Structure 1
Amino acid sequence: MDSLNKIAAIILTYNEEQHISRCINSLKNTVDEIFIVDSFSKDKTLEIAESLGARVYQNPWVNYATQFNWALENCDIQSQWVWRIDADEYYEDNKKLDLKKSLSNLDQDITGIYIKRKIIFMDKPLLHGGWFPVWHLKIWKYGKGFCENRWMDEHIKLTEGTTTQLDCVQVDENFNNLTWWTDKHNHYATREVVDLLDTKYQIFSKSSVEPNFFGTGEQRKRYLKLAYLKFPLFLRPFIYFSYRYFFKLGFLDGKSGFVWHILQGFWYRFLVDAKIYELKLKFKNDEQEIIEFIKKEYSTK
């Protein structure tokens, strides 16, 4: 296969039978290869993916970054470009943009593409509160980037080249109910605790994304995470919610937006702080013991 301007999509899956066909079908007329890296699903995810022409691999789950980097190293990718997309996401086709043609017109030193991410929650696109448009590096030249190994907030880090933006949208719309959502975010909260403490104490390794408020979206997000860490426990969820919902006009997204901001912008972040407080109580605020506990329980090596 001539790899020039061809695109390979990589999708990590586990029990995604209700999402995977939508995701694959949204990509079929745009990408050339679709790779599924599955964590031993128990439903019909693999059957559906294979029927739609995707190539399926399986590998035990450790965390997102480890799984995605395994995919980059082990999938038989023949394309020039790689696209990172989750099973519950899909490509919102832009009739005004020919993605392949746009890639062919790029300067040779461009190795990464930022595209827009849109969240749909309870049938409502979240267009306010700072949630849209948010630009993410989702497409990059194969061999020129990797997923930084963090437990949360992992980004693609380019090893060389520059980036640009293309006006296409990757939509995040999950069909599961709120019981599933809150359970998932309970697990996310534990990962967020590990990531926040790793960010604060540099437990595992120095971040490959340098914090910079005036830099890329990833650099700005990392800068704001460090700033967030400086606020007191339990106060910062109130600040975060107020900033998103009032200052960034999240209230304009109606009832669905209100539920989102209460759950994602307040409850979730309050839960993270409660779990950090629980650790502080368990180890009597001994930072070294907390660090050793995180190293023992969450090291990926």
Structure 2
Amino acid sequence: MIKISGVIITYNEERNIENCITSLIDVVDEILVVDSYSTDRTKAICEHHNVRFIEQEFLGYIEQKNFALGQAAFDYVVSLDGDESLSEQLQKSIINLKTNWTFDGYYCNRFNNFCGQWIKHSDWYPNKKLRVFDRRKAAWKGINPHDEVQLHEASKTGHLKGDILHLTYQSYSEFNQKTEHFSTIAAKSYYDLGKKAPVWKIMFNPFWAFFKSYFLRLGFLDGFNGYVICKQTANITFLKYSKLRELYKGKV
């Protein structure tokens, strides 16, 4: 029987970390939390559950998660953010893997809760994520803040029953603040990679982001919150390219 590490990165997650930890307790053989020096009760809650708690200054989303992987005691990993937890069905699916681990990594559907509503359409569901994997064959990659696990070439993947339950923004103001924050990080990452921001991208990409998520991915079926999500999807695209253009202007 294999042993599994539950790996979590956190910063000021007192609202959600309890659910995250308790969903892992009967599933994994260790729970490791890498925290970026939270100023709320995150550390106290983690210590109450006797998890392994490491404090590390924030290195960037991708870098922080790779650091956390390196601290895990076991090679088989379940990786979660502090505002995520495992559904009961997904808990059972992962427990079954301990005696029947077949693939190098496993995808799970992520079910997102926005302002108290579970979102079933747009780009928010099924929102497939590779979060159960053999760390020897994987690493966190992508463009900050959009990190993703990428397996080594020729690796094989499966899909687990059950959902990662993601408690996203619980107010519209929080959503607006995070949109500003993440668009700034994305613009800087694009700038570092040498990506450009022509006017046509600033005009067309937000329109396409809204059209795709609201109409093609049926975001309108989630009612008013579906509209808010799709509109903000367009907005973050607009802000990302606008801020990227500003960065280039500042260089001149």
Normalised to the residue count of structure 1, the TM-score between the two structures is 0.76
Question: How do residues 1-150 of structure 1 correspond to structure 2 at under 5 angstroms?
Answer: 4-75=1-72, 77=73, 79-94=74-89, 97-107=92-102, 110-148=103-141, 150=143
Higher strand share: 2
Which runs of 5 or more structure 1 residues have no equivalent in the other structure?
A: 203-227, 285-301
d(CA) in 1 for partners of 2:34, 2:218: 38
What is residue 152 of structure 1 aligned with on the other side?
145
User: Comparing 17-26 with 186-195, which one deviates more in the overlay?
Assistant: 186-195
Aligned partners of 1:43 and 1:260: how far apart in 2? 28
Is the Cα contact below 8 Å between 1:5 and 1:100 reproduced in 2?
no
Q: Partners in 1 of 2:38 and 2:104 — Cα distance?
A: 33
Name 2:240's counterpart in structure 1. Answer: 272
2:246 is paired with a residue of what secondary structure?
A: helix
Normalised by the length of structure 2, the TM-score is 0.89
- Percent identity, aligned pairs only? 28
Q: Answer yes or no: is the 8 Å Cα contact 1:9–1:85 preserved in 2.
A: yes
Give structure 2 stretches of 5+ with no counterpart.
none
Please tell me whether the aligned partners of residues 90 and 161 of structure 2 are also in contact (alpha carbons under 8 angstroms): no
Letter in 2 for 1:281: K
Is residue 249 from structure 1 mapped to residue 224 from structure 2 by the alignment? Answer: no
With a CA cutoff of 8 Å and minimum separation of 6, indicate the structure with the bigger relative contact order: 2
SS of residue in 2 equivalent to 1:234? helix
Distance 2:205 2:36 in 1: 35
Aligned AA for 1:258? Y
Matched letter for residue 133 of structure 2: W
Q: 2:199, 2:23 → 1: CA distance?
A: 42
Secondary structure, counterpart of 1:171 in structure 2:
strand
